Amino acid sequence: MSEHDTLLDVHGLKMHFPIGKSLLAKNRGFIYAVDGVDFSIKRGETLGLVGESGCGKSTTVRAVAQLYKPTAGEVILKGKDLTKMAPHDLLAARKNMQMVFQDPYASLNPRMTAGDIIAEPMRIFQKRGLLDISNDERNDRVEHLMEKVGLSRFFKNRYPHEFSGGQRQRIGIARALALNPELMLCDEPVSALDVSIQSQILNLFKDLQQEFGLTYLFIAHDLAVIQYISDRVAVMYLGVIVEISGSKDLYKNPLHPYTQALLSAAPIPDPKIEAQRQRIILTGDVPSPDKQRPGCYFYDRCQKRMDVCKTCRPQLKTTEEGHQVACFLYHKPE
Amino acid sequence: MTDEVILQVRDLKTYFTVDEGVVKAVDGVSFDLHKGETLGIVGESGSGKSVTNLSIINMIPNPPGKIVGGQVLFSGKDLLKIPASELRHIRGNKISMIFQDPMTSLNPFLKISTQMIETIVLHQGLDKKAAKEKAIEMLKLAGIPAPEKRIDQYPHQFSGGMRQRVMIAMGLSCNPEILIADEPTSALDVTIQAQILELMQELTKRLGTAVILITHSLGVVAGMCDTLCVMYAGRIVERGKTDDIFEDPKHPYTQGLIRSVPRLDKENADRLYSIPGQPPNVIDLPDCCPFYPRCEKAKDICKKKYPPVTGFENGRAVSCWLYAEETK
């Protein structure tokens, strides 16, 4: 992989949130939401991020977008480190990186019309002199974008409450596309949608990717959705990535015990297969990320744990071409 | 599962009156529930799944809602007609419910023990001490470690999965004949969902409880249910054995629904199949097939009249003009 075709490179990203920080009270510790994450995305590729709630998927994406200031680590977009940029440069860099959010109800301002919502990113960049576009061109672009995402341009003056969930998500996608970004950060964009609408939106994401050559960092907790949309998949657990691999490879040959359990727990819509499947049922819940452990974070729930897992933390290592896993079953501790 | 029918729902209609008109949330739903059976109800949001089940135990808020017709026959009595005092004796005792969100369905101010003992004392006539023992036993069955200690804790001290276990223990504590579970795992993660579904399956089998499982996930239905009802815009469009429906879905909506889910176990096509259009607005629906604007096989008659139910072998029933004509 040459430097040239890597669009986003994330190194040692950490995001720790202080608990109960105030003037008087002493800091009672941290939530280690993201605790050392490395990955890179090539131009035109989709990297899927899966994991259960609280594993740090959304925090990772928000730290990449610099919505949170990361505690440590580098986020290199097109060769420049976003974490060290001055605010004005960061704004300019954000043009290349836009977000689509999970909740199509909460992420649109109810007092703005669909047209205004889609035009807003362009208006902001116009104001700061970062985008050279006339108001007429801007209006044309809004209409063009609406048609691209499958909304009639006659809906421009309607308000969000007049749209259904799927249509609102289309507005959110049009808004993200407005600045012609290269990277789209999609935080569970289909989780709140019904099955029949979910497949429409997933197809839209694929079509747009082909047409505009977009790169996606795509979060979902539904493994089947992630398999469908992604080229590569990263599995997260308690703030770290435990396995990254090509999407087909991961589903055929999951290596990490957590990935195996996750895949076996996902229900498959076919009663015959369901009747025969052997499930790996994990015991217990995901532990709270409020302390750093010396050993493997999955130790408490792992069925294949060994003594070394308790004291030594496995690093992400390549086992075969394009398949990385953090587990001592596959490589010896150093 | 036996042939003994314990609950019959006949032509149930629940309407809501709102400013814009009448919402026919449930419009002529009929099904039977057998002893020990697990019946799944699937459909998209707004298709009337939850309203159907709230209507069964007569818990529709009135106004704006009203059950305008139909019967719900449970051990020879119509639950929609019996007096409230009698109904109270059935709810939570013979028929109990589990809701989607275990955070909001437990009272945050009361200890788990208070909430569980209340139900048991009320319905089973035990004294408090015996009721507490029974509650501890149920929590143990539901897989909660150290139930003697945990029972005196408050809901916020439990995780989401644990709270849903408490709800299941509570729901089954009076040995109900029917357990209605409204999206019991939708708020949970996959690994926790697998735990909870297995627990429900095991406990209801052991206690011989019939289950009505409402969900939007076809995967959950495939693994849990013996029979299945597919709802669209307030009506059941297809019902039958789960295996039969997945093998050979007959209604175009069921076909589309099954095809549009990405599959983990198979290679997916480059593009997913998707049902075009949006789910209908159920306000003042005309008397046509509500699915026809999105249906690939729609005919002229679909725009004029709602299709009658066509029966097939093995208890399969489909409401679609594709089949209605063939039998006429």
My answer on whether omega of the bond before A87 falls inside 30° of 0, hence cis, is: no
Integer CA distances (angstroms), A38 to A35, A57, A212, in order: 10, 13, 26
CA–CA distance, A133 with A137 (Å, rounded to integer): 6
Residues 43-82 on B with a CB inside 8 Å of A are 44-45
Q: CB neighbours (10 Å) of residue A86?
A: 8
- Is A221 touching B (CB cutoff 8 A)? yes
CA distances from B232 to B30, B203, B246, B277 (A): 14, 31, 17, 14
CB atoms within 10 A of CB A21: 11
The rounded distance, in Å, linking the Cα atoms of B315 and B205 is 23
Q: Distance (Å) from the C-alpha of residue A320 to the closest C-alpha of chain B?
A: 22
Shortest distance, CA A282 to any CA of chain B (angstroms): 6
> Distance, in angstroms, between A242 CA and closest chain B CA?
16
Q: Tell me if chain A has a CB within 8 Å of the CB of B103.
A: no
Q: What whole-number distance in Å separates Cα of residue B222 and Cα of residue A274?
A: 7
User: Which residues in chain B touch residue A199, judged by CB atoms under 8 angstroms apart?
Assistant: 260-262, 272-275
First CA to last CA distance, chain B: 33
Among B192, B262, B275, the residue with its CB nearest the CB of A227 is: B262
Question: Which residues of A fall within a CB distance of 8 Å from B194?
Answer: 264-265, 267, 279, 281-282
Q: Do B265 and A270 touch (CB under 8 A)?
A: yes
The whole-angstrom distance between A285's CA and the closest CA on chain B is 7
Q: Using alpha carbons only, what angle is made at residue B317 by residues B312 and B323, rounded to the nearest 5 degrees?
A: 70
Q: Does A153 touch chain B (CB under 8 A)?
A: no
Q: Cα separation of A202 and A170, whole Å?
A: 11
**Residue A279 touches partner B, C-beta closer than 8 Å:** yes
Measured between beta carbons, the chain B residues lying within 8 angstroms of A228 are 262, 268, 272
Cross-chain Cβ contact B219/A228 below 8 Å: no
**Could A271 and B223 be called an inter-chain contact, meaning their C-beta atoms sit closer than 8 Å?**
yes
Cα B318 to Cα B135: distance, rounded to the nearest angstrom: 43
The string of pLDDT tens digits covering residues A109-164 is 999 999 999 999 999 999 988 888 899 999 999 999 999 999 988 899 999 998 88
Measured between beta carbons, which residues in chain B are less than 8 angstroms from residue A286? 189
DSSP string, A121-150: HHHHHHHTT-----HHHHHHHHHHHHHHTT
Tell me how far apart the alpha carbons of residues A71 and A69 are, in angstroms, rounded to a whole number: 7
ipTM of the complex: 0.82
Would you call the peptide bond into B61 cis, given omega within 30 degrees of 0 as the criterion?
A: no
Q: Are A95 and A181 in contact (CB under 8 A)?
A: yes
Q: pLDDT in tens for each of the 328 residues of chain B?
A: 567 899 999 999 999 988 888 888 899 999 999 999 999 999 888 888 889 999 998 888 888 888 998 999 998 889 999 998 888 888 888 999 888 777 788 889 999 999 999 889 988 888 999 999 999 998 988 888 889 989 999 998 888 888 888 988 888 888 899 999 998 888 788 888 888 888 889 888 988 999 999 998 898 999 899 999 999 999 999 999 999 999 999 999 999 999 988 888 877 778 888 888 888 877 877 888 989 889 988 888 888 888 999 999 888 999 999 888 654 4
pTM above 0.90, yes or no: no
Phi, psi of B275 (to 5 degrees): -75, 125
Q: Answer yes or no: do B222 and A203 touch at CB < 8 A.
A: no
